[in-house]
Amino acid sequence: MNSPHLSRGAKQPPPPRGSKLRVYSNRFCPYSQRVILVLDAKKIPYDIVNINLSSKPDWLYDKVPNGKVPALETENGDILYESLIIVDYLDERYSQYPLHPKDPLQKAKDRILIERFNKVISTMYRVMMNVGRISLDDDEAISNGLTTFENELGDRVGPFFGGSKPGMLDFMIWPWCERADILKLFGNQHLLKKDKYKKLMEWRTRMTEETTVKKSLLDSEFHIKYLQSYRAGMPDYDLILNSK
């Protein structure tokens, strides 16, 4: 998972051995982490090819038309891209430990929540990737989004959105919740107050204790250092390797 990120000029790696799937990824891409979480949760064999997003290998475009990650290469050589499309495929193709709710209505409602979380995602990206303090509008967008999920947890049976175990909704929003402490850099500690989002903060702690999450979990220190390198115009995708 922490292999070097391939850049322009790098040779295309040989096909994965056996029946393994392959994920074209980036260690600091939260959308890629979505796919990794689902693969790990369902115990599906896979390997990873990390991509330098600032200098992508030319052969990547032969594999993935838009050149984006994540992308999944199946054992037959078919390519899927867009994180939500990939995870839906994985949940249907590999039926062990289903992550989507069995009830079609609940599955649809969870997809609506994932779409609603996109507003939180877009706001967080705007805040993290641009210099300057968070605006009142951004503050409100994040706060309202977190309140929605705080209230939703109160209506669920069990400590996770998926019930007694994390489900698809848990894993789809987790990568950004893992990075939430970065908001403190902008003087917005109030957004993460435990008394305001008690259930959500308890959920976040429980998620960090899950075996599946631990496999891709990074300390806030790494996320912050990566963000600083990105904002300086020199994203250090191999930060983890370079720190060893």
Q: Which DSSP state fits 1?
A: -
> How far is Cα 244 from Cα 242, in angstroms, rounded to an integer?
6
Only one residue has tokens 């496999």, namely 215
- Residue 2's pLDDT is 78
Q: Which two tokens stand for residue 182?
A: 């970065």
Only one residue has tokens 């309140």, namely 147
- Residue 78's pLDDT is 93
Tell me the pLDDT tens digit for each residue of 107-166.
999 999 999 998 888 887 777 766 555 566 777 888 888 899 999 999 999 999 999 999
Give the side-chain half-sphere CA count within 13 A for 118.
8
Top-confidence residue, 26 or 181? 26
**Burial category of 161 from C-beta neighbours within 10 Å (exposed 0-12, middle 13-18, buried 19 and up):** buried
Angle between helices 104-129 and 220-231 (to 10 degrees): 50
Q: Which DSSP state fits 179?
A: T
Determine how many CB atoms are found less than 10 A away from the CB of residue 116.
15
pTM over 0.85: yes
Catalytic (active site) residue 177: no
Amino acid (one-letter) located at 4: P
> How far is Cα 143 from Cα 91, in angstroms, rounded to an integer?
31
Q: Which helix (H) or strand (E) holds 49?
A: strand 46-50
Q: Which residues contact 162 (CB under 8 A, 6 or more apart)?
A: 99, 101, 168, 169, 170
Residue 186 pLDDT greater than 70, yes or no: no
Angle between helices 168-178 and 104-129 (to 10 degrees): 10
Tell me the pLDDT tens digit for each residue of 56-106.
999 999 999 999 999 999 998 999 999 999 999 999 999 888 999 999 999
Q: Which residues contact 184 (CB under 8 A, 6 or more apart)?
A: 192
Annotated catalytic residue within 6, 23, 29, 69:
29
Please, what are the domains in the chain? 21-98+232-242 (3.40.30.10), 104-209 (1.20.1050.10)
> How far is Cα 159 from Cα 81, in angstroms, rounded to an integer?
31
